[in-house]
Structure 1
């Protein structure tokens, strides 16, 4: 009886094993071609893409960790790129002047042509008169005709009018208030719509990071949600935080104040505050800019007020410069869209108008195409390489 029972249990055990084996064969993935669960690097609409804080959607890396930040290109030597770009566009200002000045004898018509070239390049009437008078005197006295000598003479005249002695450095050092509290260097960035102001703020953050400074961004353009999103994206790429309003249309002055306070608490070197693009004929908006200045200075003194101008706007930019100079107390100019244009004379005109230097120039659309302005490099770019 015992042997029969044992035999029965043995058959039951074998049956269980057979059933288990069949289930494994039926349910297990079939070979190497079996489909695996989706991972973050595969194109699953729920996992492969996710919005960043700024609202844009980007593909996530393979791991769930935060993406690594970019390392901006060094700022040294950036302006040398302008020489190549102006050369590709024909460097019209420098080449036109050199062509006329190299003629065997210069008539009144030739001098009128030189004056017209400078005016069309937006040098401005006053500086143009000074350049032409100086060149006429040198040509008459020295009888210059050799192309190399003409180039050297013109280079000297342009460099003098641009004024290489102006201080073009940016204030990036933390300062100590009267009460002994150390605060960041605060830079307010202003300008009208369409000049590339928010993009310039993002590129300036890259310049400062490349030079070793820590930065906080303040998105005080609260009337355009895309501006805060854009600025936040620029900052995230180089590991820079952005302080922004929780709602569209929030108080710009409050955002600016919070950004400066965040910078002070974090021990940041520089706080960059972006502002809404303002038309110079909108008195209410200009009043608001004055409010932002007043609120910021309760927390920290303003180190810089940078006015962003489009180099292609010509003399219309002078109107903008005058109004912002009166309201915002501009300390420096950022010229955008300077590459490949005959409007290089705007550098001279805007400096004369405001009595403040051009400190940075935009050379193109790349993220590191913002360069500290160097007068000698700029003039050499306008004139092209000597023959």
Structure 2
């Protein structure tokens, strides 16, 4: 059953990454077929292709540098053989340790951060539904109190996932909501507490202060719980998502990235740039509207789907 689910998601990943694949792979295929030898001009063209595919300058330069070394080491002469090396290079850049998901089986608090409109509330709802399906006791905290819509939306997801939600009135103190939610999580012996937070990057100082306060409450009141801070980014915004991530990294101790809306963009290459530049693992990706369309990030499957390779059994 699990295998079937995985295959289903790989299929969605393949179709979800169609725009990105057309953007990157067609250019790479054209490139390798138009060059007979691997020279400086070939590398320059490849560099341009990767930068245009939203991998960003720094990540591209790192990939090209490593690629040159491997081509030399393995005495690769044919440009067509570079594609496989490139795929392996990207897989290495994206690798995520199994231990990154240990929090799922511990008593944990998930702090979800990100600007409005990136799919933050939806991500929380989908995670809640998935954890609930695994027979975990989940509580949600509506600590984005600045938008009534955020509280309503989260309440709707809580009802859909059939989990409890702790919320207060609009404009109430987010710290107070988290305090109540922690008390509820302890009293009901919850496995996972997921806290929504406000995402106002334009008001960085306030946001920083707010997150600091929330973290303090969690550390003081729920010291024995494992803490994860997941940043939700909208992949359709490409390099903007990377800039957002850099800004959030200045104000929060991010432990993982959730990349949403990969199915609607040609900018899927941003997943590679984000993980490479931030040194923060992409932990979940979303490739559709359904609850099961948010999944743990599998770098091998991602690169295979991106390059149109068949998934190996």
What range is the shorter-chain TM-score in?
0.7 to 0.9
Structure 2 counterparts to residues 61-72 of structure 1, below 5 A: none
Residues 144 and 150 in structure 1, CA contact (< 8 A), matched pair in contact too: yes
In the TM superposition, what is the alpha-carbon distance from 1:292 to its structure 2 partner? Answer: 1.2
Residues 96 and 283 in structure 2, CA contact (< 8 A), matched pair in contact too: no
| 1:127 counterpart SS class | helix
Aligned partners of 2:96 and 2:256: how far apart in 1?
A: 14
| 1:142 counterpart SS class | coil
Q: Which TM-score applies when normalising by structure 2?
A: 0.87
Aligned length: 301
| 2:180 counterpart SS class | helix
**Alignment partner of 1:274 is 2:203:** no
For each residue in 1:346-367, what CA deviation from the matched residue of structure 2 results, as whole angstroms up to 9, or x when unmatched?
2222223332211001112223
Aligned partners of 1:338 and 1:272: how far apart in 2?
A: 23
The CA RMSD measured in Å over matched residues stands at 2.4
Change (3 A) 1:358 1:126: same
Aligned to 2:153: 230
In the TM superposition, what is the alpha-carbon distance from 1:270 to its structure 2 partner? Answer: 0.2
In the TM superposition, what is the alpha-carbon distance from 1:126 to its structure 2 partner? Answer: 2.2
Aligned partners of 2:96 and 2:172: how far apart in 1?
A: 42
Aligned partners of 2:98 and 2:54: how far apart in 1?
A: 20
Whose radius of gyration is greater, 1 or 2?
1
Which stretches in structure 2 are left out of the alignment for 5+ residues?
none
In the TM superposition, what is the alpha-carbon distance from 1:266 to its structure 2 partner? Answer: 0.9
| Counterpart pick for 1:192 among 94, 112, 115 | 115
**Alignment partner of 1:283 is 2:205:** yes
| Counterpart pick for 2:186 among 259, 264, 283 | 264
For each residue in 1:133-179, what CA deviation from the matched residue of structure 2 results, as whole angstroms up to 9, or x when unmatched?
33344446211345xx44422221211222344743151234xxxxx
Change (3 A) 1:357 1:89: closer
| 1:371 counterpart SS class | strand
In the TM superposition, what is the alpha-carbon distance from 1:317 to its structure 2 partner? Answer: 2.3
| Counterpart pick for 1:142 among 51, 62, 76 | 76
For each residue in 1:103-132, what CA deviation from the matched residue of structure 2 results, as whole angstroms up to 9, or x when unmatched?
323454432221112112222222211222
Aligned partners of 1:252 and 1:89: how far apart in 2?
A: 38
**Alignment partner of 1:243 is 2:175:** no
Aligned partners of 1:218 and 1:337: how far apart in 2?
A: 24
Aligned partners of 1:99 and 1:139: how far apart in 2?
A: 19
Aligned to 1:339: 263
| 1:277 counterpart SS class | coil
Aligned to 1:214: 137
| Counterpart pick for 1:163 among 72, 95, 98 | 95
Aligned partners of 1:252 and 1:354: how far apart in 2?
A: 28
Structure 2 counterparts to residues 80-95 of structure 1, below 5 A: 80=10, 81-87=12-18, 90-95=21-26
For each residue in 1:5-44, what CA deviation from the matched residue of structure 2 results, as whole angstroms up to 9, or x when unmatched?
xxxxxxxxxxxxxxxxxxxxxxxxxxxxxxxxxxxxxxxx
| Counterpart pick for 2:274 among 347, 350, 362 | 350
| Counterpart pick for 2:32 among 92, 97, 101 | 101
Aligned to 2:46: 114
Greater RCO structure (CA 8 Å; 6+ sep): 2
Aligned partners of 2:302 and 2:96: how far apart in 1?
A: 11
